[in-house]
Structure 1
Amino acid sequence: MKQYKAIIFDMDGTVLDTLDELTTSLAHVYGAHHLPVRTRQEVRAALGYGYTGLIKRTAPDLDPAEQQKLAEEFKTWYSSHCQGYTHPYDGIVSLLSALQAGGRKTAIVSNKGQAAVSELHEEFFSHLVSFSMGESPRYRKKPEPDMVWEALKRLGCAREDAVYIGDSEVDSMTARNAGLDVILVTWGFRDKEDLERLHPDYLVQSPDELARLLLGQ
């Protein structure tokens, strides 16, 4: 397998299990507006498109202005309540430590708002990952390639020497749009069968398998 110099990860569903936190936060916001509370599975299927995308997919009957208002409320609430249930998936810290020891450059690129991304980076990854980028007015959201290209610039790495790792169709499209190889993981927010249909360069089922793949073990 090709030995990548830079490895860029998605955050939610890839390195962090944020599903319970996101489901609880959405229930809080929707409850305040007397909207139907969405199940954990419904939230899981709607993730990957940022806060506005989450609202559009879980409250599709609302008009766009109301959806945008709810997205802002969700962003505010979640940004200050994003660390209660969230944790790295088993094996992720060991994976990142091994990549660091192996001299690989790493970063995280997410459609989550930058405030929450920064908090979670500091709590879990500041000693293991160079930086984490979240949604910002400066860059178009994934699947547009802007944030990945900016991450590569900061890492000082060419596209052909990098890989993007995620758990959804958004991540697959992001990698393709950015000109990077893509690895999809099966422990996140999409089912294995759905990921297989995307024809990633690699499909892995555990962080240990991913470590062996990336480090040539």
Structure 2
Amino acid sequence: MTYKAVIFDLDGTLVNSIEDIADAMNTVLQTYNFPTHDYDTYKTFVGSGVKSLVIKSLPEGERQDNQVKNCHTAMMNIYKNQCTNKTKPYDGIVELLDALKSTDLKMSILSNKADALTKKVVSTLFSDYFNPVLGLKIEAHKKPNPIVALEICATLGLDPEQVIYVGDTGIDIKTAKNANMMAVGVSWGFRNKEELIENGANHILEKPLDLMAIL
């Protein structure tokens, strides 16, 4: 198969954003005198959007709809102003993107991070690599629902079989499988390789430039 495009997840795949995410959520928790969490714990909370992260972060007895809504709003207000404070590309990512850019491959981003925040992070840390860049706009469309991934294929004028999807979680692998794309996991992200294997990853990258060998 000749692949013509690569769709990347963002958080845990291209960028290490866990400290900014955790710092924002912990600030919210502190205002309610709720227990906070460390960075490693937040790595298990991310992947399904901010609302899901808020629910997981709250004490079990404090997850009523109104509480979740208030904390979600507060989290978004804080995070949107600090989403690039500590967030940086992983080692080797820029080199990979430059290598891909030298080919005819198209590159896109699909994240479960809110669409406006996804675009802000990408425009701040990367330039002229990705089109389109899409985050979460409709809760029902979040990964592993393949609907937006398939919309990207349509935008690029490609069949799903011509596309590689790269991500760091089981959710990303499921998204690729649901869209009938090549599923590639990364070993440096927020989850372990066992999760990627269990969900059917076709390949797992040990370092970013390993993707070039698959191509």
Give the 3-state SS of the residue equivalent to 1:187 in structure 2. Answer: coil
Q: Cα deviations across residues 54-89 of structure 1 (Å, max 9, x unaligned)?
A: 112222432133113212221221112101100100
Partner of 2:128: 127
Q: d(CA) in 2 for partners of 1:172 and 1:57? A: 22
Q: What amino acid sits opposite 2:148 in the alignment?
A: M
RMSD over aligned Cα, in angstroms? 1.5
Identity percentage over the alignment?
30
SS in 2 for 1:207: coil
Letter in 2 for 1:69: N
Residue 98 of structure 2 corresponds to residue 106 of structure 1: no
1:25 counterpart SS class: helix
Q: List runs of 5+ in structure 2 lacking aligned partners.
A: none
1:199 Cα shift? 2.5
Quote the offset at 1:139 in angstroms.
6.5
1:212 shift after superposition: 2.6
Point out the more displaced range, 46-55 or 27-36: 27-36
Quote how far apart the aligned CAs of 1:46 are: 0.8
- Amino acid corresponding to residue 172 of structure 2 in structure 1: D
Deviates more, 1:172-181 or 1:190-199: 190-199
Alpha-carbon distance between aligned partners in 2 of 1:15 and 1:49, rounded to the nearest angstrom:
17
Q: What's the TM-score, normalizing by structure 2?
A: 0.93
The residue that corresponds to 2:190 in the other structure is 189
For 1:175, give the aligned amino acid.
A
Counterpart in the other structure of 1:56: 55
Partner of 1:12: 11
Partners of 1:23 and 1:138 lie apart in 2 by 21
State the secondary structure of the residue aligned to 1:112. Answer: strand
Q: Supply the AA of the counterpart residue of 2:9.
A: D
Residues 174 and 199, structure 2, Cα contact 8 Å, conserved in 1: no
Of the structure 1 ranges 156-165 and 10-19, higher mean CA displacement relative to structure 2 is found in: 156-165
Amino acid at match of 1:132: V
Residues of 1 paired with 2:77 and 2:211: CA distance?
34
Task: Give the letter for the 1:38 counterpart.
Answer: H
Q: CA deviation at 1:174?
A: 1.0
Number of residue-to-residue matches in the alignment: 213
Q: Secondary structure at the match of 2:144?
A: coil
Distance 1:138 1:38, change over 3 A: closer
Using the alignment, how far apart are the partners of 2:213 and 2:155 within structure 1? 26
CA 1:63 to 1:139, structure 2 compared with 1: closer, same or farther past 3 Å? closer
Runs of 4+ in 1 over 3 A off after TM superposition: none
2:25 pairs with 1:26? yes
Mark the runs of 5 or more structure 1 residues left unpaired by the alignment: none
